[in-house]
A = this chain, B = another copy of it.
């Protein structure tokens, strides 16, 4: 008997009315903005008198491989597991992007019996947040070109516009375009590059803003272009920060849904994990901390990117440093880090696994440097052998690390109670975590710190462009901002082929981009794709819907 698909499991579930889920959190109907019967926005302003006292558990992972590590599934499973052992817990997750659902990736709502529901809605339009971000982003973009068309009083150089239009769609043909063609009445011709909505600075801002005022101020501070005499132009110069905030008025409120086991999940925001910080929103985390005793949240990619950005970008904004860290590892991924090819993963290979532990080891020591002893969550897969799992557990024991084998995908919260016990134990002595670098360091110093402390490379090379930007940022007063490194997620280095725990490498910084609204400097170490394409056979081709509205082919 084959395992049912994610959408089959999700569709067969009986959901609790979202008002019931909210009532369990002490939220009355007045604090809810329902969207259907199983989703609601929380009016976070009504909670202002409650302390954000809940403990934060950050779910991170070893370096990802094509084998997959199941971080969202683990986050959902752990939430259910903690509730099963009597700890009042809420999950805080990122919203999936709509575009990739029709491409190759599928959704991002967990898997198997550890999912958030209503899965179909969450993976499609959900509560409209991303559409609102798209609208706000594109209102700004249209306003910039309109400003130029209507006389260009600010003297914007059309060759130096950094702010881009977005769509929440995988649309390769929009990666490089020329707009404003057709003569004087149709605008000023210039090059443009559409990106996917999750790559918008508006998305990053929404996820970091603490309230509407902060949102409006941050939007106003976005640097969109340079003038002909190379002075930065901001949204406040253009004058549409308030109009953008009007469009985001509801999107800033966190969304409440539930796990398959009826436990609360706040799903809000979904910034890219490379050119942005890859965490769900500050507001969702803080709201969840006001409502539950424990919040389980995740950060994108491996600990070198996701957990690092959580600690250096998100946590300082809201003092939401994790009280415990869960690090997801899989036998499959460890074997790949140990040199096994994807097609050979089904064969037992304890030696390869042991070699691959060098990767996990480095991430563990990084978390230790930041102040936490991570709990190792071993996400069980069908072809894992007893010897492989035993080797992994023995390694954890040698290192003095708590660990648990988790079967949340196959069994839901019941498959995660061991992990829940370990996490609960860890929370008895909360970690005292800190950022990797001090706020007052320069951008260059911050990058060097990450290379040394987190990636464990030998040094950093800056391209001529990057050097020029460093000097410019110093002149503009942007050189003490946190850094957001856009690096391959498949390696500690900037070379995706270097699995395991590479040594002796140097990181090459190709370019920098300042995000004055979000408040960080993006450090580009390679070509980062910000507009995905559709594959040869997109998932869209296999979707269907019956006359009664039953959807299939969504994964």
CB within 8 Å of B: which residues of A?
A: 33-37, 45, 98, 102, 124-125, 128, 131-132, 134-135, 138-139, 141-143, 145-146, 149-151, 165, 167-182, 185-188, 190, 192, 211-213, 216, 239-240, 242-243, 245-247, 249-250, 533-536, 538, 540-541, 543-549, 551, 553-554
Nearest-neighbour CB distance to chain B for A374, whole angstroms, equals 39
- Asked if A540 and B143 make an inter-chain contact with CB atoms under 8 angstroms apart, the answer reads yes
- Asked if A249 and B551 make an inter-chain contact with CB atoms under 8 angstroms apart, the answer reads yes
Residues in B neighbouring A125, C-beta threshold 8 A: 128, 131-132, 135, 247, 250
Partner of A171, one of B37, B145, B151, B176: B145
A535 CA to B151 CA, complexed, in Å: 12
Q: Which residue of B lies closest to A140 (CB)?
A: B540
- Asked if A243 and B549 make an inter-chain contact with CB atoms under 8 angstroms apart, the answer reads no
Q: Which residue of B lies closest to A139 (CB)?
A: B102
Q: Residue among A34, A138, A246 with the most chain B CB within 10 A? A: A246
- Asked if A176 and B181 make an inter-chain contact with CB atoms under 8 angstroms apart, the answer reads yes
- Asked if B541 and A169 make an inter-chain contact with CB atoms under 8 angstroms apart, the answer reads no
- Asked if B246 and A551 make an inter-chain contact with CB atoms under 8 angstroms apart, the answer reads yes
- Asked if B173 and A149 make an inter-chain contact with CB atoms under 8 angstroms apart, the answer reads yes
Residues in B neighbouring A165, C-beta threshold 8 A: 174
- What number of copies of this chain does the assembly contain? 2
- Asked if B36 and A545 make an inter-chain contact with CB atoms under 8 angstroms apart, the answer reads no
Residues in B neighbouring A192, C-beta threshold 8 A: 173, 177
- Asked if B240 and A549 make an inter-chain contact with CB atoms under 8 angstroms apart, the answer reads no
Residues in B neighbouring A242, C-beta threshold 8 A: 543-545, 553
- Asked if B545 and A245 make an inter-chain contact with CB atoms under 8 angstroms apart, the answer reads yes
- Asked if B182 and A170 make an inter-chain contact with CB atoms under 8 angstroms apart, the answer reads no
- Asked if A540 and B174 make an inter-chain contact with CB atoms under 8 angstroms apart, the answer reads no
**A-B pairs with beta carbons under 8 Å apart, 14 shown:** A45-B548, A125-B132, A142-B172, A142-B173, A146-B534, A149-B173, A173-B180, A173-B190, A176-B180, A187-B533, A242-B553, A246-B545, A246-B551, A249-B549
- Asked if A246 and B538 make an inter-chain contact with CB atoms under 8 angstroms apart, the answer reads no
* Given known contacts A212-B549, A533-B146, A176 and B172 CB-to-CB distance under 8 angstroms: no
* Given known contacts A176-B181, A240-B541, A243-B543, A98 and B34 CB-to-CB distance under 8 angstroms: no
Residues in B neighbouring A180, C-beta threshold 8 A: 172-173, 176-177
